[in-house]
Amino acid sequence: MDLDTALDTTVKKQESELREMEARKRELQELAKQQRFRPSDEVSTFKLIKSIKEMVTATMTLVSSAKRGFVYVVPAEALVITSLFGINAEAKKLKELGGYAKGITNIAYADIAPAQEVLDIGEDLRHYPDYGGIYFAVVDKKHCVSAINVDIKRISLNEPISMIWTDDSTYADYLCSTFEMLWEQSVPAAERIQELLKRGSPQT
Amino acid sequence: MASGTIIESVKDAIAVASTIMESAEKEILWLLPPAMLVFGAQYGLDEKSKMLIEKGGRVRGVTAISGTYRDIVRKHLEIGEDVRHVDQYRGAFMLVADKRESISSLNVSIEDLSLDDRVVAFWTDDSSYAEYLIATFEDAWKEAVDAKKRFQEL
């Protein structure tokens, strides 16, 4: 193929891609228009959560009132909090009643015990290495808490965090879709724990 | 809270970003993985940004600038955007126009992002959601360093 033909092919390909993008834009605009004008009698609310104490209270309320189940993506430190403040006990009750509990976290050697505790109560837990996104949880595909800024330096009820709580079902759908994508990309926690145990403590 | 549309591919996210940029009248803020800038240029998004700036609008962006992406960031600076560099960003990615319309994602793989990848993003014109994203953007902006300073480091 000579240079002119190669250039011509490239230009044609790009023109075709741009046309395809314009067509997709119109389709998406139409879809968004339909969704925005879809009548809804639901009223959604949201509020800010500003400390671990408020997060524990909100999570406890949500998990204990869950009818179907919950999914979450959290830092491993949060598994210590769910254990200490009785959220795991509520999750266990939900599992015994047939509910679902699926979680994703980043498990290091120091997190084996809290991760194992979550597995022992029957939750489906997975490991996602070096997760760099936003942490969140969704209960009954409706109630959501998602982080604005969660950098837990110590496990204390007064530790400041910024999270948003909402019962907007569209937002819940969005978080659930994100969760499903991450779930596919993660590995079972039990596998990860075995791997870490085989490797041994990084300090020894 | 926000009612909106869930977007599930990189290509659709670019199509939505293009729509949002076309409708912007005053300001665009973006916080994106650098690969998205390459895809954006491929589909003419930088032209839309240029048009807004020529009409008196402002565009500010934050990304992770490495040697690989130096040229694409330079193009953004040349059209008049204010761009900053952030190291190891962990959080939501976004594009927000006029403090109202936005597309954002809770998790985008920063490395090895390709046009055919699956992403999950949220497109909404809810101003309270835009406010939440803008607060995140401003935090990153404060932490970030000027792109030109970053070029010197590289």
The confidence score (pLDDT) of residue A149 equals 57
Q: Which H helix or E strand runs over B72?
A: helix B70-78
Whether residues B1 and A171 touch (CB distance < 8 A) is answered with yes
Considering the domain architecture, whether residues A79 and A113 belong to the same structural domain is answered as yes
More confident residue, A36 or A198: A198
Percent of chain B with pLDDT over 70: 96
Nearest to B4 among A21, A29, A170 (CB): A170
Whether residues A174 and B16 touch (CB distance < 8 A) is answered with no
Considering the domain architecture, whether residues A50 and A101 belong to the same structural domain is answered as yes
Cβ atoms of A132 and A77 within 8 Å: the answer is no
Considering the domain architecture, whether residues A13 and A111 belong to the same structural domain is answered as no
- What's the CATH fold of domain B4-153? Endonuclease; Chain A (3.30.870)
Any domain includes A127: yes
Nearest to B2 among A18, A28, A171 (CB): A171
The count of other CB atoms within 10 Å of the CB of residue B6 is 19
Whether residues A174 and B6 touch (CB distance < 8 A) is answered with yes
Q: What is the pLDDT of residues A95-113, one digit of tens each?
A: 999 999 999 999 999 999 9
Residue A39 banded pLDDT, cuts 50, 70, 90: very low
More confident residue, A45 or A88: A88
Total structural domains within chain A: 2
Any domain includes A115: yes
Nearest to A21 among B15, B91, B119 (CB): B15
Amino acid at A190: A
Cβ atoms of A119 and A190 within 8 Å: the answer is yes
Considering the domain architecture, whether residues A87 and A142 belong to the same structural domain is answered as yes
Whether residues A178 and B120 touch (CB distance < 8 A) is answered with yes
Mean pLDDT of A196-204: 82
Any domain includes A118: yes
Considering the domain architecture, whether residues A80 and A174 belong to the same structural domain is answered as yes
Which residues of chain B approach chain A closer than 8 Å at the C-beta?
1-8, 11-12, 14-16, 18-19, 42-44, 88-92, 105-108, 110, 118-120, 122-123, 125, 128, 132, 135-136, 139
Looking at the complex, does the CB of residue A21 fall below 8 Å from at least one CB of chain B? yes
pLDDT, chain A, mean: 85
Q: Which residues of A68-84 are buried (b: 16+ CB within 10 A; e: fewer)?
A: ebbbbbbbbbbbbbbbe
The confidence score (pLDDT) of residue A150 equals 54
Domain around A28: 1-39
**List of chain A residues whose C-beta atoms are within 8 Å of the C-beta of residue B104:** none
Considering the domain architecture, whether residues A166 and A77 belong to the same structural domain is answered as yes
Q: What is the 3-state secondary structure (H, E, C) of A6-73?
A: HHHHHHHHHHHHHHHHHHHHHHHHHHHHHHHCCCCCCCCCEEEEEEHHHHHHHHHHHHHCCCCEEEEE
Any domain includes A204: no
Considering the domain architecture, whether residues A35 and A60 belong to the same structural domain is answered as no
Any domain includes A50: yes
Q: What is the pLDDT of residues A134-167, one digit of tens each?
A: 899 999 999 998 886 555 555 566 666 677 888 8
C-alpha atoms less than 13 angstroms from C-alpha of A120 in its C-beta half-sphere: 10
The confidence score (pLDDT) of residue A202 equals 81
- pLDDT of A71 > 80? The answer is yes
Interface pTM, i.e. ipTM: 0.78
Whether residues A28 and B16 touch (CB distance < 8 A) is answered with yes
Residue spans of the domains in chain B: they are 4-153
Inter-CA distances, B127 with B69, B121, B131, Å:
32, 17, 6
Q: Helix (H, G, I), strand (E, B), or coil: what is residue B114?
A: coil
**List of chain B residues whose C-beta atoms are within 8 Å of the C-beta of residue A161:** none
Distance CA A166, CA A143 (A): 6
The confidence score (pLDDT) of residue B69 equals 92
Considering the domain architecture, whether residues A17 and A61 belong to the same structural domain is answered as no
Mean pLDDT of B41-55: 93
Q: Helix (H, G, I), strand (E, B), or coil: what is residue A143?
A: strand
Query: What is the number of CB-based contacts under 8 A between chain A and chain B?
Result: 96
Q: What is the pLDDT of residues B71-98, one digit of tens each?
A: 999 999 999 999 999 988 888 899 999 9
**List of chain A residues whose C-beta atoms are within 8 Å of the C-beta of residue B5:** 28, 31-32, 35
Of the ranges A29-43, A157-171, B131-145, the best mean pLDDT one: B131-145
Whichever domain contains A195, its CATH number is: 3.30.870.10
Amino acid at A76: A
Whether residues A134 and B91 touch (CB distance < 8 A) is answered with yes
**List of chain A residues whose C-beta atoms are within 8 Å of the C-beta of residue B14:** 21
Considering the domain architecture, whether residues A63 and A35 belong to the same structural domain is answered as no
Distance CA B149, CA B129 (A): 32
